[in-house]
Structure 1
Amino acid sequence: MPIRVFRSLLLPACLLVAAPAMPAAAGPVTTPPPPREDWLLAPVASRTELTRSPDGSEVTLANGLIRRRIRIQPNGATVALDDLRSGHHFLRAVRPEAELTLDGKPYRVGGLRGQPDLAYLAEEWIPGLTNDPSSFQFAGVAGGFPEAPLAWKRVRHAANLPWPPPGSHLSVAYRGPDVATRDVVVTVHHEMYDGVPVSAKWVTVSNGTPRAIVVDRCISEELAVVEAESAVDTRERHQWTTPPIDVLSDYMFKGMDLATAGKLASWEPDPAFATQVSYELQTPCLLICRPMEGPGVRLEPGATFTSLRTYVILHDSPERERRGLAVRRVWRTLAPWTTENPVMMHVRSAKPEVFRAAVDQCASVGFEMIIYTFGSGLEMENQDPAYIARVKADVDYAHSKGIQVGAYSLFSSRRVDDANDVINPATGKPGGAIFGNAPCLGSRWGLAYLGKITNFLARTGLDLLEHDGPYPGDVCASTLHPGHRGKEDSQWEQWRLSVGLYSWCREHGIYVNQPDSYFLVGGNKTAMGYRESNWSLPRAQQLIHARQNIFDGTWTKTPSMGWMFVPLTEYQGGGAAATLEPLREHLPDYEMHLVNTLGAGVQACWRGPRLYDSEETRQVVQRWVGWFKAHRDILESDMIHVRRADGQEPDIYLHVNPALREKALAIFFNPLGVEVHRTLRLPLYYSGLANRARLRWSDGKAASVRLDPRGNTDLPVTLPPRGFTWCLFE
């Protein structure tokens, strides 16, 4: 049966006690019946439950999709990580719950010994596993509910999602095994959430000793996973197939996609796995989650260190679309502010007359936000009261028109001076940072910069921070910067300062555009993925590239998580052939850009001095913005990847959402200069439609279509030269 006991064991060691006896579940290996329906089509009926075994030796988190069993006798260790949808057991061996290096000495947290074969974990072996007395020892357990790691102030349109996500929280506390650590308490935190196949985990270290200790290294998640494939011969790392697991974290940066930003998680060989097929024991089957550097944090007496958080997504299929849908569902659950998706313009000048004219145009056509773009002349670091008052007057004007306002600031990829720049550990001098030169966020200049930016946002009433060059992970060897001690803790402390900025913005309802993956600490949107110089190509080529970029960017991002870019004036060359201005003279291309982005549920940075230059142009923009708002819910729903733009045949956008009345919306694009007639197949399985469906075409004509047993339907489509059409399924 479910248990709810005291919330937390973040106590000094002298006060730490074990949890009282908890009601027992039916048994440790009872498998709930699998979901009757596909979890991606219908809400999961099961809620997350925290239970214990009848003999008190195990606790289990399960939500009807996945299950994690944790042994707590004779010490703590995860002994099962199961997919209840497919029946797959992910775990093949027991590992420590965490690994720490404290004051230069490595320690395991929990873990059990004696497994005879690390290729699989037989149920009958588990009761016989023994304790490792040199590890941190189990000291208590507590249950509760998830608490929000940051506040979300809702001030604009977003999906109606709960925050924090409902689920269960489990804390398992451990005491140090020796004299040096007997008053150090390590608490391993687990969470699981309703309706998503995610096992969350992080570690806290509480220093109950009378002296400072240094947390040199911290592995917060370590899973010995069943290998995805076996190979005898030596392989390069990229040649291996890894298990069907993705990892999200609040420690994701220096990357605008999941794979690039997720460097904290790595698949590594397990040399202790002596029975694997790989002759050199190189199968990547050990999932390790840790900071790339450090943390190197000095922990004063009575203080607590909190590690990065990991969110392990267990997939029920290797199929790319299904895995992508799962990742996108998890993003919406763990970072629901990413569903905020305002229609925005980037105005090129901060001059009041230019800015206010652009505001008036935004209000006229239904845009929701205007941003002082890069190169506009706005100076967010300017703290002059008169300057701030002038900007605030313009912001207030925009607010009076119903338009929110954002501003651009550059942090990284700039040089300040030798005293404040990142110091290269290899040379002891500035230079050699990820973007060449960069200030250290922990320098005096960096700390002052954070204060200036938050002050400017607060005093002007701005609604968005466009933060270019967010902290990318530069390691700084300076020992003079007040924000970190030296090289060892520089990455961790700069990351913490970045987290503080973005969380502050989220708590104040300030939208955050950042070309990085700080989503789980408050960021809203990153680039969908494009090459800026492509906007100097001829207009027809820009349109093809844009649809390719959106197709590629939405495998693991929702439409609202990535921005596109449409320069209305010449950008990086290309001349008249590449430029939309004068807008009225290139209205078909301008309209197609609107359809490209709004039809994908993706917001573009419409960068220029104006949105229209004639009444006809204004009406086109207003019509498509209105269309987007009329179908906003389905357009911001998941994209199914049907056919990527190739300039040779029609390409397709397909949005699906089984929870809506509008179940699917498809847009068909013709890149050719002639009318085409095609029968195009739409895979509507993930829309939840079955057997028959009603559809309505863009011209208002309605029809009923049959779906095959796999949810596919074939539609005859006629497309005008370099044109498009769309249809809506209900």
Structure 2
Amino acid sequence: MGITIENNKIKLMNEYILREFDISSGPVSTAYKIRPHGLSRGDAWIPVFSFEPWLPFEAAVTVNGIDYEAGPHKQTKDWDREGAFDVTRVEQGKGVYGDVLKLYCRGRNDQVPGLELMIEYEIADRLPLLSKSVRVSNISGEAIVVDNVCVDIARLFEGKLELAVFSDYYWDIRRDDPYYFSFTRFEFPEKIGMELKPGESFETFKCYEAVTSGDRDEASIILHRIYKELAPWIAKPLIKHIVNSCTAYEELLEVADRASEDGIEAVELFVGQLFTNTGDYIPRPDLFPNGWEDMKRMVDYYHAKNIAVLPYCSTTIAWPDSEVFIQHADWQYLGPEGIRYNPWGLGNMCYQSPWGEYIEGKLLHLLDDIGFDGLGLDGPYHRLPCLADDHKHPNSHCVEYMNWLWEKSFFGEITKRNKIITVPQEMQSMFLGAHQRPGGYREEDQNAMGGMPLVVTTRAYTFDSRYKDPACATWTSCNLEEYHGHSIEPSETNPATYDHAFGGVFGYGHCGALYGKHLYYGDVTRAIFRKWVAFFKKYRRTLAGEMVHLARPNGFEPDAVMHVSPNAEIPAVLVVFNPVDEEKQIALELPLKYAGFTGGSLVNIERVGSIQLDSRGHGIVRLNLQPFEILTLAVESDRPTASA
């Protein structure tokens, strides 16, 4: 296992992945096979390609519209292209997750641009994962503009192959190869136009190739466990309250007092609560008459209560009434025909203008000098174009890549400080350092409905989104006050809606976000609130595991999910919702193998009793639910009690 090198033959192998290379005449994969379920399948391997003698190439760089491939010098079959690079050096080492192979490639002749490609592979020791990236260096004496870099190529068989390819780049890296029919390239989705002066280099995104499963739930479980290895910071979410309606300094301190009493672990002081505007980041004088001194005193007060506190802020938004916007309108993105962008919808400031340095300094000041525990970011980079010729991007093509690099660097600075990042950015942001992102709810729904219809609709979309990323890496929405015109309509006289709203947060493994100055409104809602906080804290390790989808919410029948975490004290928790005012029954098949139970095991389900699993590790449970009831049932091994 790991990496073996014998002359010009190289093998990368773990329990799930086998990839072999011949580097004698250009780098080429002569075999690429996967083994879903690892050794459970015995010695049966599935080929990623079979009829061809090798993959078309290992990497490719595009310059002036021409692809230069690091591949075999001479192709066979219907392909008449020739590889443009020789392997000049091979290095082997150890990475974070497993063995690392580096292939250094230079052009075979003078027709190839003066670039060196360093192709890096890491084969994980324990995970069903191979990662790959390319560093491009200019070794010539003149500037070279790189249009694109293809990091790898594979045949995915229209999704039939149990191989998931993802990256830490925000946007889809997959593109059908126009020449090598039925192969998929993994490259930047748009031309990047990166200009390299002599001696300069840049690195691509990380391309991750993971062996998964043809079963949708099993595939998501495998991937989510990989994500938590790649981004361990996502696995420790804090119960979070969001407030922006305090009108006095004392009220801000009272929020900390109540949070401490109620079991809240983090508070985000939302838009407009702390600063005169988004952009200048000047403390509101009505709340903080002594400016930063008062704000730091407030942060210290939260810390004395063991509450993490985050400010609402943005890396890309400057309000039109902010001084930085007024003085530096040229720091904005400049779109086609001179268009500027709405700061409330998209973010309007370009990192490659002096804004990038300005906002990094402002936000790191909040962390380093004022002591905030993280940043509640809004308006991240949403792929806006910029045609400004006085920003750092040398052309309009490289804006997207350079802005991704800026966020990668900035998020890295925050992660090094062990601070929290929450951000409405693409899922891949977790690999750069983001702790949480939106978990599938839609603000469009909040604009159109409230009460139980909003609660069930939100739960349904959250259910769907948990195939994509784990609950611990996301938040869902529970608006106790109006947001976009509606709320969950909390009420002491209609506790069912309140119960289902909080169940859709904590029962789905989310830690928030709970929006509104007050979290409950009397004895009834307070009891429900405390029930769900206690539930989340009791089963925190299980909820930070993976979610199995059992029955999708539709608003008129019971719906259900199951959380699994084989290493937790409670390896599984079942959560079942009855969304209507009448008794309901439901039978559920529980794939408890994902919780670590083996076929034939006896398990004990809270309030149900002992059941025996079939040979696959699955069991059937039948439940009766009272009107609007939510059942939370722990699942444990049914161990015999030792005799006295």
TM-score between both structures, scaled by the size of structure 2? 0.87
Partner of 2:144: 213
Residue deviations 1:2-61, cap 9 Å, x none?
xxxxxxxxxxxxxxxxxxxxxxxxxxxxxxxxxxxxxxxxxxxxxx511124xx222111
Partner of 1:546: 458
Q: Distance in 1 between matches of 2:208 and 2:497?
A: 42
Cα displacement (A) at 1:406: 0.8
Q: Distance in 2 between matches of 1:571 and 1:632?
A: 28
Say which SS state the counterpart of residue 376 (structure 1) adopts.
Answer: coil
Q: Given residue 462 of structure 1, which amino acid in structure 2 is its aligned partner?
A: F
Cα displacement (A) at 1:104: 6.3
1:137 maps to which of 77, 86, 96: 86
Q: Given residue 418 of structure 2, which amino acid in structure 1 is its aligned partner?
A: G
Gaps in structure 2 of 5+ consecutive residues: 37-43, 284-289, 637-644
Contact 2:600–2:617 under 8 Å retained in 1: yes
Q: Given residue 250 of structure 1, which amino acid in structure 2 is its aligned partner?
A: D
Say which SS state the counterpart of residue 3 (structure 2) adopts.
Answer: strand
Say which SS state the counterpart of residue 26 (structure 2) adopts.
Answer: coil
Say which SS state the counterpart of residue 494 (structure 1) adopts.
Answer: helix
1:531 maps to which of 436, 442, 446: 442
Matched, 1:202 2:164: no
2:270 maps to which of 362, 367, 373: 373
Matched, 1:96 2:5: no
Q: Given residue 443 of structure 2, which amino acid in structure 1 is its aligned partner?
A: E
Contact 1:76–1:97 under 8 Å retained in 2: yes
Distance 1:644-1:263 versus aligned 2 partners, 3 A rule: same
Q: Given residue 464 of structure 2, which amino acid in structure 1 is its aligned partner?
A: D
Residue deviations 1:100-125, cap 9 Å, x none?
1346654222334333368xxxxxxx
Distance 1:115-1:68 versus aligned 2 partners, 3 A rule: same
2:364 maps to which of 441, 446, 454: 454
Partner of 2:207: 310
Cα displacement (A) at 1:310: 0.8
Say which SS state the counterpart of residue 140 (structure 2) adopts.
Answer: coil
Distance 1:263-1:110 versus aligned 2 partners, 3 A rule: same
Cα displacement (A) at 1:215: 2.4
Distance 1:431-1:360 versus aligned 2 partners, 3 A rule: closer
Q: Given residue 379 of structure 2, which amino acid in structure 1 is its aligned partner?
A: G
Distance 1:104-1:88 versus aligned 2 partners, 3 A rule: closer
Q: Given residue 719 of structure 1, which amino acid in structure 2 is its aligned partner?
A: L
1:475 maps to which of 379, 382, 385: 385
Contact 1:372–1:408 under 8 Å retained in 2: yes
Taking the TM superposition and a 5 Å limit, the aligned residue runs for 1:284-295 are 285-295=182-192
Cα displacement (A) at 1:435: 5.3
Say which SS state the counterpart of residue 532 (structure 2) adopts.
Answer: helix
Partner of 2:591: 683
Partner of 2:245: 349
Say which SS state the counterpart of residue 341 (structure 1) adopts.
Answer: coil
Residue deviations 1:152-202, cap 9 Å, x none?
xxxxxxxxxxxx4x2111100111233486864211001121232222111
Partner of 2:424: 515
2:617 maps to which of 711, 715, 718: 711
Partner of 1:442: 352
Residue deviations 1:604-628, cap 9 Å, x none?
2111112234455444433321221
Matched, 1:77 2:22: no
2:309 maps to which of 399, 405, 412: 405
Q: Distance in 2 between matches of 1:539 and 1:413?
A: 32
Contact 1:110–1:138 under 8 Å retained in 2: no
Cα displacement (A) at 1:374: 2.5
Taking the TM superposition and a 5 Å limit, the aligned residue runs for 1:121-132 are 132=82
Matched, 1:603 2:511: yes
Contact 2:496–2:628 under 8 Å retained in 1: no
- Number of positions where the alignment pairs a residue of Structure 1 with one of Structure 2: 607
Contact 2:603–2:612 under 8 Å retained in 1: no
Say which SS state the counterpart of residue 633 (structure 1) adopts.
Answer: helix
Partner of 1:256: none
Residue deviations 1:416-457, cap 9 Å, x none?
465122122x42543599956722221223431222122222
Q: Which has the higher contact order (CA 8 A, sep 6+)?
A: 1
Matched, 1:333 2:263: no
Which is further off, 351-360 or 397-406? 351-360
Which is further off, 293-302 or 390-399? 293-302
Residue deviations 1:376-409, cap 9 Å, x none?
3435644659522222111110000000011112
Partner of 1:570: 482
Q: Distance in 1 between matches of 2:472 and 2:186?
A: 28
Cα displacement (A) at 1:264: 1.9
Cα displacement (A) at 1:675: 2.2
Q: Distance in 1 between matches of 2:511 and 2:417?
A: 22
Distance 1:105-1:502 versus aligned 2 partners, 3 A rule: same
Partner of 1:634: 542
Residue deviations 1:670-722, cap 9 Å, x none?
1121223444332323223232333242xxx4621122223332223221111
Partner of 2:627: 721
Cα displacement (A) at 1:242: 6.0
Cα displacement (A) at 1:554: 0.6
Cα displacement (A) at 1:413: 6.7
Superposition RMSD in Å:
2.7
Contact 2:236–2:544 under 8 Å retained in 1: no
Q: Distance in 2 between matches of 1:296 and 1:187?
A: 19
